Amino acid sequence: MGAQLRVYKRRIRSVSATKKITKAMEMIAASRVVKAQRKVAASTPYATELTRAVTAVGTGSNTKHPLTTEAETPTRAAVLLLTSDRGLAGAFNSNAIKAAEQLTERLEREGKQVDSYIVGRRGVAHYNFRDRKVAESWTGFTDEPTYADAKKVAAPLIEAIEKDTAVGGVDELHIVYTEFVSMMTQTALDARLLPLRLDEVAEETRSEGEILPLYDFEPSAEDVLDALLPRYVESRIYNALLQSAASKHAATRRAMKSATDNAGELINTLSRLANAARQAEITQEISEIVGGASALADATAGSDR
C-alpha cells in the first residue's frame, strides 16, 4: 500500500471516530432539550403571574419599596450574566457575554457603577482572563438548574438591592440570559428585574385585554412587598436559568449536527481521494508489469537473433 493511501485511510478512521462522538453528543443534547423545554413551559406561567401580582400591589399602593420604586439618581447597578459550564454550543456563550458587555457599557455611560455576578464557567473564565472584577459567581448546575440553585443565586442579589449604595448596595438589578424561542432560534437579551417597571407590565396586561386585580393588604402593602421580593427575584432567575439551559442544549444539538454533517462530507472527500490514490497505484503497478514484460520480451528476441 502506498504512503499517500495510508495517510488517507488513517484520516478516514480519525474523522469517523469524531463523527461517532459528535452524533452521540447531538442525540444527548436532543433528549435534554425536550426536558428543558417542559421545565420552561412549567415555570413561565408562575413567573408571569407573580410579576403581575407584584405590579398590582405596586400600582395599588403608595409605599416606597426597592421592588417598585426607582432611585432619583441611581449610582450602582448589578448585572447577572447567565452562561454555561461547558462549551461546544456554537455562539451561545459569546452572544450572552457580548450582550452583558454592551449592557455594562450602557450603564457606565449613564454614570452607574456596575457589579458583575456570573453563572457558568464560561462566563467566569472570560472575565478572569480579562482581569475583570466579579462580585460573585456560581458554577456546576447550568445544564440542569433547580429552584434551590436559583435561590442560591438570588440571595446575594436580594441582599444587595436591600442595602444602601453607601454600604455596597445597588439601585438596580439587571439580568442577561438567552431566551429559548425555538429549536433553531435562541436570543441573548437583557432585562431589568428591579425596580420593576410597573408602567410596562401594566401596559402589556392592558394590551392583552386583562385587568389587574384589586387587593386589600394585610397587614400592610409594605409587608406584602417584603414577602414578594425574594419570591419574585427567585422565580425570575429560575425561569432565566431554565431558558438558558434549554437554549444551550438546542445550540449544542445544532452545533453537533453541523459537525456530524461536516465529518460525513469530509469522509466522502477523503474516500474519493483514497480511491484515486489506489487507482493511481494500481495503474502504476500495471504499467511497471507491462514495461517489465515488454523489456523481457525485447531481451529474449535479441538473444534469439
Using one digit for the tens of pLDDT, what is the confidence trace for 203-245?
555 555 556 556 666 777 677 777 777 888 899 999 999 999 9
Q: How far, in Å, CA of 58 to CA of 55, rounded?
A: 5
The reply to whether 290 falls in a domain is no
CB atoms within 10 A of CB 164: 9
The reply to whether 269 falls in a domain is no
- Per the structure, the complete domain to which residue 125 belongs is given by 23-257
Q: Considering the entire predicted model, what is its pTM?
A: 0.81
The reply to whether 299 falls in a domain is no
Q: How far, in Å, CA of 152 to CA of 130, rounded?
A: 26
- The three cell numbers of residue 252 are 449544542
User: Helix, strand or coil for residue 213?
Assistant: coil
Q: Angle, to 10 degrees, between the axis of helix 3-59 and the axis of helix 198-207? A: 90
Nearest-10 Cα torsion for 88, 92, 96, 97: 30
Grade residue 250 by pLDDT with cuts at 50, 70 and 90.
very high
The reply to whether 162 falls in a domain is yes
**In this predicted structure, what is the pLDDT of residue 87?**
84
**In this predicted structure, what is the pLDDT of residue 225?**
75
| pLDDT (mean) for 167-174 | 87
CATH number at residue 87: 3.40.1380.10
Longest dimension (CA), the chain: 128
User: CA distances (Å), 38 to each of 7, 93, 119, in order?
Assistant: 47, 22, 22
The reply to whether 303 falls in a domain is no
* Share above pLDDT 70 across residues of the chain, in percent, rounded to a whole number: 84
Query: How many domains are contained in the chain?
Result: 1
Per-residue pLDDT at 303 exceeds 70: no
| pLDDT (mean) for 173-189 | 90
Grade residue 72 by pLDDT with cuts at 50, 70 and 90.
confident
The reply to whether 187 falls in a domain is yes
User: CA distances (Å), 249 to each of 17, 39, 95, 149, 266, in order?
Assistant: 22, 13, 15, 19, 25
The reply to whether 278 falls in a domain is no
What is the dihedral sign for C-alpha 229, 230, 232, 233?
positive
The reply to whether 50 falls in a domain is yes
**In this predicted structure, what is the pLDDT of residue 103?**
94
**In this predicted structure, what is the pLDDT of residue 47?**
83
Grade residue 63 by pLDDT with cuts at 50, 70 and 90.
low
